[in-house]
Every structure is written in structure tokens, then in C-alpha cells.
């Protein structure tokens, strides 16, 4: 919500939630904003952890059943469309998993460099 405020001959817009401290925001407002950012970061980290755990479970299932998958592939003819569909779909899954884990690591890794407090 935006509140219109007349100052002299000009009309300016200010957010309605800002406290009246002149033109300078106070320290309490910065603390509220920082707390909101921390809540969003914790939520993003929880989502990233969930996605990483889900990928680990799915990949673990495939790794545990590797001998069964290999046996099933050995029974199929090399020109069989079922074999190639499975190979392509599992390859796409592995590439998507690697991309997801890479994205999770990039998202969670802190990037302070020169801006460190």
C-alpha cells in the first residue's frame, strides 16, 4: 500500500509501513527486513535439502538394483525399442540428477567474497 504525502510543492509516494523517522529509516526496520531474508534463506535451504535427499533415495534405489537392471537389459535384443527407451530415460534421469545436485550446491554455497561482513 502506498501513501501519498505532500511536502511543500511536491507530492511524493512512500510505503505505508515505514515508520515516521524523517527521511532516514531506523535500525528496527533493517532488523525486520533482515529477519525476513533469513526466514526465506532457511526455507530455501530446507527445500534444497529435501530435493537432495529425494535424489539420493532415487539414485540409491537404482544403484541397489543395478544387477537386476543389467540382467533385464541382457535379456533384451540390442535393437529393441524397449531397451533404448530405458537407456535413454535413465541417462536423462542421471543428467537431471547431476544438474539438480549441482544447482543445490551452487544455491546453498555462501558467496561472500568482498562483501563479507
Residue 38 is placed in which grid cell?
Answer: 533469513
Q: Determine the distance from the C-alpha atom of residue 83 to the mean position of all C-alpha atoms in its chain, rounded to a whole number.
A: 34
Low-confidence ranges of the chain (pLDDT < 70): 1-24, 108, 110-117
Say if pTM beats, i.e. exceeds, 0.75. Answer: no
Q: What is the pLDDT of residue 2?
A: 46
For the residues of the chain, what is the DSSP string, one character each? -EEEEEETTEEEEEETTS--BTBS--HHHHHHHHHHHHHHHHHHHHHHHHHHHHHHHHHHHHHHTHHHHHHHHHHS-TT-HHHHHHHHHHHHHHHHHHHHHHHHHHHHS---GGG--
| Cα–Cα dist 61/58, whole Å | 5
Q: What is the pLDDT of residue 3?
A: 47
Q: What is the pLDDT of residue 1?
A: 43
Q: What is the pLDDT of residue 106?
A: 80
The residue among 62, 57, 112 whose CA lies nearest residue 92 is 62
Amino acid at each position: 500500500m502506498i501513501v501519498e504525502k505532500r511536502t511543500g510543492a511536491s507530492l511524493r509516494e512512500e510505503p505505508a509501513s515505514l515508520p515516521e523517522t524523517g527521511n532516514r529509516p531506523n535500525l528496527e526496520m533493517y532488523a525486520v527486513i533482515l529477519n525476513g531474508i533469513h526466514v526465506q534463506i532457511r526455507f530455501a535451504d530446507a527445500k534444497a535439502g529435501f530435493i537432495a535427499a529425494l535424489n539420493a533415495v532415487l539414485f540409491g534405489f537404482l544403484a541397489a538394483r543395478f544387477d537386476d537392471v543389467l540382467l533385464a537389459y541382457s535379456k533384451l535384443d540390442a535393437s529393441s525399442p524397449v531397451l533404448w527407451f530405458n537407456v535413454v530415460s535413465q541417462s536423462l534421469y542421471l543428467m537431471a540428477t547431476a544438474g539438480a545436485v549441482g544447482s543445490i550446491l551452487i544455491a546453498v554455497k555462501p558467496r561472500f567474497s568482498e562483501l563479507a561482513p
